[in-house]
Structure 1
Amino acid sequence: MQTENTRTGALSPLEAAQSTFETALHHLNEPTQLAFFKNVFGALLLSFGGIFALIVSQGSPGLEETNPGLPKMLMGATFPVGLVLIYFVGAELFTGYPMWLAMLAFSRRGRPIQYLRALVIPWLGNLAGALLVSSVFSVATQTLTPEPYKSGIISLITSTVIHAKWHVILLKAIGCGYLVTLAMFVGSQNQDGISKALGLHLPFFISTAIEFPHTVEYMYLGSLAMMLGAEMSVWMFFWKCLLPVTLGNIIGGALFTGAYLWWVYLYCEDGERAKDWLLSDGQQDM
């Protein structure tokens, strides 16, 4: 369908929701090895964005005392560079899958085993990529081992994970799941490069600046802090860092973005046109 928004280079919300649904169908049937390596590559890019963000935000420790909001703003402004690159090269992150799977589940598409595979394989691929960057490109290269970066990273994880309560981490992660999937949706709405980059960047900027944890971000930051000497065991890394962040991101992405897009644009708004599309274009991709 042609709309004014389409002719000016942007999809309407309805068209973007339909495009997101088509992407979900694709990922549901994606070969396992392809899904794994696309998520390894996605984690590499996001983690390299993490290196950049840590260099910028932790390089002036005096700022934390005189202007504690500025390092958070610097972190928020730089970390999303990785997400923009991921979208431009066609890599993936685990945090997008809850949105896609929620839209499919409400439309009664796919089988439970497909849903399980679509969560586990990307998560493992992201973990592999994040560990590679933290161990090889952050520690072995000594990029982040000198001061003030070392103590700054340890302090960051100590405050956001080690000393934080489990349920607080979970609640913050729900907010991140919502914001990062919103970034993906807004990015898919815009067709030109600059608008797409801004759409991807701004919601993730908010999430990172207010320290709402992202699964892949904390796969990288948590493992890096452990290697630098943070008082966090492997058990704590999985139980108190990755588990609440992963669950929170799933809840936020599935309910706050996936369910919303399905309900508003594929079920309620312009109902007959959306239902016709679900039975025609959407069905052809199965």
Structure 2
Amino acid sequence: MSYLSPAEFSKKMVDAGEAKVFMSTRDTVIRAFMAGAILALAAAFAITVSVQTGEPLVGALLFPVGFCMLYLLGFDLLTGVFTLVPLALIDRRPGVTVRSVLRNWGLVFVGNFAGALTVALLMAVIFTFGFSTDPDEVGRTIGTIGEGRTVGYAEHGAAGMLTLFIRGVLCNWMVSTGVVAAMMSTSVSGKVIAMWMPILVFFYMGFEHSIVNMFLFPSGLMLGGDFSVADYLLWNEIPTVVGNLVGGLTFVGLTLYATHARTGAVRRRPEEPLEQGEQGEQEADPVADLVR
């Protein structure tokens, strides 16, 4: 069968985290760069579809194509390594240290950002005919998204920051579920179907994904969005990264590891009740007779 049980794919999660820790710097950065670039293209595609059709659900239905492509090609997102890599440390795999986990996260962040920023620049050129005209409708929409999801949060102060953080948590709950879901099947079609569902939920619900935002907000700045780099970092990227870390590791990585890779002790079964008619074979109990 192409389906793997939770116990089987939980082990694959830990193995994957260990492999990423020991991957070379070159391979880690290249794979992260390509993941950020492909996800950015998928975000541009989804926004274009949403604007042209006037139906955000259509864009959300199609956005997962980029996520599926990048994971089938073996590329890495920061949201995924947030969930998988710490499991190798928790499982005490030889040679895995806190420093090596942080190294992996740092390299993947740099690669993802470089890939997303490259696509942001290329798409900004397309939206403005090489910066010779005002942005088209899709470009203006991206600029509006950047404003609403930076200064829009800032207007609400602490409540806005809390909302941003929770959206980051919920985002990587869904995205990391998609990462793990790809391990449930050994067939391409099974992997794609399993990944598609949680990614659709995250995108349509407007949750905050740190790598998608690495594309949206630099694009918004290039396309005339009324917010600053400081707004982007303080009122989106940094809280989103923290929320993504908490959501993926807490609600996906640790929960699956705890209940499938390191299951609790099995409780003793209670004695089975006697079948009807077997009571006469029991030894006499004088105390029970008195109660009766």
TM range (shorter): 0.7 to 0.9
- The CA RMSD measured in Å over matched residues stands at 1.7
Tell me the equivalent position of 1:151: 140
Decide whether the 8 Å contact of 2:89 with 2:98 is kept in 1.
no
Give the C-alpha shift of residue 193 in structure 1. Answer: 1.5
1:21 and 2:5 are equivalent in the alignment? no
1:233 and 2:228 are equivalent in the alignment? yes
1:32 and 2:29 are equivalent in the alignment? no
In the TM superposition, 1:108-147 aligns within 5 A as: 108-109=92-93, 110-136=96-122, 138-142=123-127, 146-147=135-136
Q: Which runs of 4+ in 1 moved over 6 A?
A: none
In the TM superposition, 1:22-171 aligns within 5 A as: 22-60=15-53, 63=54, 70-71=55-56, 73-109=57-93, 110-136=96-122, 138-142=123-127, 146-164=135-153, 165-171=160-166
Report which of the two has the higher share of helix. Answer: 1
1:249 and 2:234 are equivalent in the alignment? no
Give the C-alpha shift of residue 76 in structure 1. Answer: 1.6
CA deviation profile, 1:92-141 (whole Å, cap 9, x unmatched): 111111111332232234212101101111001000000000002x0113
The structure whose Rg is larger is: 2
Decide whether the 8 Å contact of 1:222 with 1:237 is kept in 2.
yes
CA distance in 1, matches of 2:58, 2:146: 17
Pairs aligned (count): 254
Give the C-alpha shift of residue 146 in structure 1. Answer: 4.0
CA distance in 1, matches of 2:220, 2:193: 30
TM, length-normalised to structure 2: 0.82
Give the C-alpha shift of residue 269 in structure 1. Answer: 5.7
1:194 and 2:189 are equivalent in the alignment? yes
- Any stretches of 5+ residues in structure 2 without a counterpart? 154-159, 267-292
Decide whether the 8 Å contact of 2:174 with 2:202 is kept in 1.
yes
Deviates more, 1:167-176 or 1:235-244: 235-244
Give the C-alpha shift of residue 171 in structure 1. Answer: 0.7
Decide whether the 8 Å contact of 1:182 with 1:257 is kept in 2.
yes
Give the C-alpha shift of residue 270 in structure 1. Answer: 7.9
Decide whether the 8 Å contact of 1:170 with 1:244 is kept in 2.
yes
Give the C-alpha shift of residue 166 in structure 1. Answer: 1.9
TM, length-normalised to structure 1: 0.84
Give the C-alpha shift of residue 210 in structure 1. Answer: 0.4
CA distance in 1, matches of 2:179, 2:128: 30
CA distance in 2, matches of 1:242, 1:117: 19
Give the C-alpha shift of residue 58 in structure 1. Answer: 1.8
CA distance in 2, matches of 1:143, 1:14: 51
CA distance in 1, matches of 2:128, 2:15: 41
CA distance in 1, matches of 2:26, 2:265: 38
Give identity over the alignment, percent. 22
Decide whether the 8 Å contact of 2:120 with 2:219 is kept in 1.
yes
- Any stretches of 5+ residues in structure 1 without a counterpart? 1-7, 64-69, 272-286
